[in-house]
Amino acid sequence: MTHTTKPLVIANWKMNPATLVEAKNIYTGSKLAAKKYPTVQVVVAAPALYLLELQKLQKNTALTLGAQTMHEAVSGAHTGELSAAMLVSAGVASVIVGHSERRMLGEDDTSIGRKVLAALKAKLMPIVCVGERERDTQGNFYAAIESQIKTALALAPQSRLKDVVIAYEPIWAIGTGKTATVDDICEMKLFIQKCLTKQYSRSIAARVRIIYGGSVTAENAVLLFEGGTVDGFLVGGASLKPEEFTKIIAATS
Ligand code: PGA
């Protein structure tokens, strides 16, 4: 895993598509997009079951594969789970950790911290999702974001923080068609950098890529990328449509 400052666009397919044939088609479209825009780092976080098959198509591409979650333990009695080493052996380079849809299934801050450590140890790039359920007018949600970041990174060695990506994903913006405004995104990016500076140092804060997720589309990507000053996107719904995903990648190139 080498640190890069390239813009980063991650496709989070979630529990889609229904068949391997469709998965290969979407993957192929994303691969073409990655080739067309080499200045952008493109990751496809596919359902775990498809990863080995997609890995076979990984020729002549800078696109990498990601997983949508993992277990923090090395091995053991964890029915249905996958370890970091298993993901690495399937050719996976990164893993989404703490997505709000996983948090809703019981993933808590402490286990997210352990997952980040396990991912880094296995040389997987952790993509740590943080985000508020709602915005109160007093701005109390900022404290919640700070606490999510603190616990998620609590076990990570400082020397490895440059390999961590933070995805700001306001929960109310995921899959709803309501994005945060560019000012909100810009402010949150600065706030996250401030938290990292307070916790570690300015140079560490400058090296952690901060991306945005939540209803990113081909239509709003240019505005959100430029106005939001983020380092890229975590894209759900729109990443399943290669033509639209390509435009989102283009917006960051
Ligand atoms: P969305 O999902 O783009 O469909 O809103 C984003 C995410 O959950 O990562």
- Taking CA atoms only, the protein residue closest to ligand 1 atom 2 is 236
For residue 81, the tally of other CB atoms under 10 A from its CB is: 15
Query: Does the C-beta of 117 come closer than 6 Å to ligand 1?
Result: no
Q: Is the bond preceding 17 in cis, omega lying within 30 degrees of 0?
A: yes
Query: Does the C-beta of 214 come closer than 6 Å to ligand 1?
Result: yes
> Cβ neighbours of residue 205 under 8 Å, at least 6 residues apart?
193, 194, 196, 197
Return mean pLDDT, the chain: 96
- Whether residue 3 is predicted with pLDDT greater than 70 in this model: the reply is no
Of 169, 171, 176, the one to substitute when testing ligand 1's pocket (max ligand atoms within 8 A of C-beta) is: 169
Distance CA 222, CA 220 (A): 6
- Taking CA atoms only, the protein residue closest to ligand 1 atom 3 is 236
Specify the pLDDT at position 139: 87
- Whether residue 2 is predicted with pLDDT greater than 70 in this model: the reply is no
- Whether residue 189 is predicted with pLDDT greater than 60 in this model: the reply is yes
Identify the CA nearest to 223 among candidates 170, 172, 181: 181
Distance CA 225, CA 236 (A): 16
Residues in a beta bridge with 209: 165
pLDDT tens per residue across span 153-188: 999 999 999 999 999 999 999 999 998 899 999 999
Distance CA 31, CA 63 (A): 6
- Taking CA atoms only, the protein residue closest to ligand 1 atom 6 is 236
Residues of the chain with pLDDT > 70, as a percent, come to 98
Specify the pLDDT at position 113: 98
For residue 111, the tally of other CB atoms under 10 A from its CB is: 17
33-37, 123-127, 179-183, 240-244: least confident range? 179-183
- Whether residue 214 is predicted with pLDDT greater than 60 in this model: the reply is yes
Specify the pLDDT at position 5: 81
pLDDT tens per residue across span 46-62: 999 999 999 999 999 99
At 8, the pLDDT band (50, 70, 90 cuts) reads very high
- Taking CA atoms only, the protein residue closest to ligand 1 atom 1 is 236
Residues of the chain with pLDDT > 90, as a percent, come to 96
Show the DSSP H helices in the chain as ranges: 20-36, 48-55, 84-89, 100-103, 109-121, 141-153, 182-199, 202-207, 221-228, 242-251
Distances (CA, A) of 239 to 27, 71, 122: 10, 25, 27
- Whether residue 108 is predicted with pLDDT greater than 60 in this model: the reply is yes
Distance CA 183, CA 175 (A): 20
List residues with catalytic annotation. Answer: 99, 169
Residue whose tokens read 């979407």: 26
Specify the pLDDT at position 4: 65
Of 174, 176, 230, the one to substitute when testing ligand 1's pocket (max ligand atoms within 8 A of C-beta) is: 174
pTM: 0.96
On whether the CB atoms of residues 5 and 39 are closer than 8 A, the answer is: no
For residue 18, the tally of other CB atoms under 10 A from its CB is: 8
> HSE-up of 28 (CA within 13 Å, CB side)?
7
User: How close is the Cα of 14 to the center of ligand 1, in Å?
Assistant: 9
User: How close is the Cα of 144 to the center of ligand 1, in Å?
Assistant: 20
